[in-house]
């Protein structure tokens, strides 16, 4: 698979409470130009949602986010996840992700964590929580000493702030939720989701 960082300028970060919403939601995002979809493992419906998208939305590249244990890695891949995202990493979690057979973005928020991943041969990572951890100034400052590291910043990013992240040389894409407003999801207003996704996709 192409690097997760190169699939689209924005990766929607999706929390799904009802697995029945997974397929129409994914179809709306794909139709809007956002094929890479991160389904967070924060709800009981998450793995069923990943499985449904993998089975029924062939143009989607569905991944699992909030992966925080080796068991979570195994469950996500068994459900059809094509990439993995974690908010942080430990040696055990990194070993599990590295042996999963799918691309992965371990989470970092400090320079030492970035160096630790580079030491392990990992150069693509999630920067989280992006805004709280220093935002674009922090990432810009990392580009000088650590140019080989590439990031998907996630956490507090909006349509207004995404372009400043995407303009950085060490940012491949951003993760966000702004194209998934709670009221639209509650109303199952997939047309609105598609429209917001198209707006986000145009940032690339």
Report, as residue numbers or ranges, the catalytic residues: 38, 126
Q: What are phi and psi of 19, to 5 degrees?
A: -60, -25
Q: 């691309």: which residue's tokens? A: 103
Which residues contact residue 45 at a Cβ distance below 8 angstroms, ignoring those fewer than 6 apart? Answer: 16, 17, 18, 19, 22
Q: Which whole-number Å values give the CA distances from 56 to 25, 53, 59, 80, 167, in the listed order?
A: 12, 5, 9, 11, 34
């Amino acid at each position: 698979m192409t690097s997760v960082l190169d699939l689209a300028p924005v990766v929607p970060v999706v929390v799904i409470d009802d697995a029945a919403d997974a397929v129409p939601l994914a179809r709306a995002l794909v139709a809007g130009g956002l094929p890479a979809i991160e389904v967070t493992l924060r709800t009981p419906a998450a793995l069923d949602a990943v499985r449904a998208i993998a089975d029924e939305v062939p143009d989607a590249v569905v991944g699992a986010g909030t992966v925080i244990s080796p068991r979570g890695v195994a469950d996500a891949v068994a459900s059809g996840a094509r990439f993995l995202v974690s908010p942080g990493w430990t040696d055990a979690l990194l070993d599990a992700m590295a042996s999963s057979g799918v691309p992965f973005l371990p989470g970092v928020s400090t320079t030492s964590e970035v160096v630790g991943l580079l030491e392990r041969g990992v150069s693509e990572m999630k920067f989280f929580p992006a805004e709280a951890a220093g935002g674009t100034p922090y990432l810009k400052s990392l580009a000088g000493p650590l140019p080989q590291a590439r990031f998907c910043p996630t956490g507090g990013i909006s349509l207004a702030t995404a372009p400043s992240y995407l303009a950085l040389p060490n940012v491949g894409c951003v993760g966000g939720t702004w194209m998934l407003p709670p009221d639209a999801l509650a109303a199952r207003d997939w047309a609105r989701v598609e429209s917001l996704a198209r707006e986000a996709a145009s940032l690339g």
